[in-house]
Amino acid sequence: MSGGIYYWQLPNRHKAIVKSYVFEKLGIVNPNWKVDNRQQTYKMISPEFYIDNIYKSMEGPKASNYVQLTQDSAVVWLTGFQVRALDAKSLKTISKDFICHTNIDFNDVKYYSSFHLEKRIGTQFPRLTSLSHGLESFSFPKGYGVPMKGNELLYVTTESLNHNLPDANFWIRHEVDIKYSKEPDLKPLMSRTAFIMLPYDKWDPYKEPTDPGTNQCIPVETKNHSYDDGKGNKLSGHWVIPTGKNTYRSSINEQLQLQDSLRLHAAAIHVHPFATQITLYDKTAQKAIFTSKIINHKGKIGLTRIAPFASEEGIWLYKNHDYEIVLDVNNTTATPQDMMGSMFLFFYDKELDAILRKN
């Protein structure tokens, strides 16, 4: 009885973790991934996910797997990513509304050490990119890719989602594709993660309403996606939006860490339902670098499409300019909703290109 009471008091995210663990131990779910690596596309199918409730972003059942693209240390180039939701038995494609995150992480110590770039270790969270609802696939522009030693490991986590079916009772899987090339003449990209962080009252974080003039937010929770600004003030990257239209913005200069001018060639976007557009903005030049238009479902909660950014020519970002992310939202429901605004930005890596060409 105590265990049952404890379980029903858990938030959805933790209930999903408990259920997945129990299903695995009882043999109901096979925890192994199905893997296929042919034609320079690494395909893998996740274990089964049980959809039995409303699972908002970062709440649903999930699974993780290590990926090794080749058996040797020759350089390969990551060129694109894709995730699909499948029926657990037939493996036929079903609605993408059951796809939350698919995160691709790397070991920054091994990655940078293998290219003799040890000074970069620990400077950024080692997440290469992320797919999410509305952006289930993207590719780098022609001639560009992210290089890595083929036998180094990537760590892939894929998570399920369900915004609209409270009486759900079925099983799904995710198929994740990582596309790569062995061509030697691509140009290398480096990844930088940038996202909106808004201040909140650390003494009373859920106090509302907040003062619009202070750009403060109400965090979804204070344990995850909570940061310190270095002055003792708390910031949240996962916050609550009220009903109606609002605009949120924050500086990303510290996240970009621009030591010199860099040329931007691609961006993968992550937002939640009710976002309408997100912009990388140059405050110094007072102009948008690019704006990603976001299409929401009609008649239900979800994202139809998030426009990625890709450019062979590239756009310059400058060390002495100030940059911010600007997010526009329109909560068309009568209740508050959760929100994030993130970008995985890919810049031409001149230093790594010189190392690769020398070798």
| pLDDT tens profile 11-20 | 777 777 777 7
Whether the model pTM is above 0.95 = no
Domain range annotation of the chain: 2-185, 192-358
The listed CATH number (2.60.40, 2.60.120, 2.40.128, 1.10.287) that belongs to domain 2-185 = 2.60.120
pLDDT > 70: percent of the chain: 98
| pLDDT tens profile 147-183 | 999 999 999 999 999 999 999 999 999 999 999 999 8
Mean pLDDT within 248-270: 95
3-state secondary structure the chain: CHHHHHHHCCCHHHHHHHHHHHHHHCCCCCCCCEEEEECCEEEEECCCEEECCCECCCCCCEEEEEEECCCCCCEEEEEEEEEEEEECCCCCECCHHHEEEEEEEECHHHHHHHCCCHHHCCCCCCEEEEEECCECEEECCCCEEEEEECCCEEEEEEEECECCCCCCCEEEEEEEEEEEECCCCCEEEEEEEEECCEEECCCCCCCCCCCHHHCCCEECCCCCCEEECCCCCEEECCEEECCEEEEEEEECHHHHCCCCCEEEEEEEEEECCCEEEEEEEECCCCEEEEEEEEEECCCCCCEEEECCEEEEEEEEECCCCCEEEEEEEEECCCCCEEECEEEEEEEECHHHHHHHHHC
CATH level 3 topology of 192-358: Jelly Rolls (2.60.120)
| pLDDT tens profile 42-84 | 999 999 999 999 999 889 999 999 999 999 999 999 999 999 9
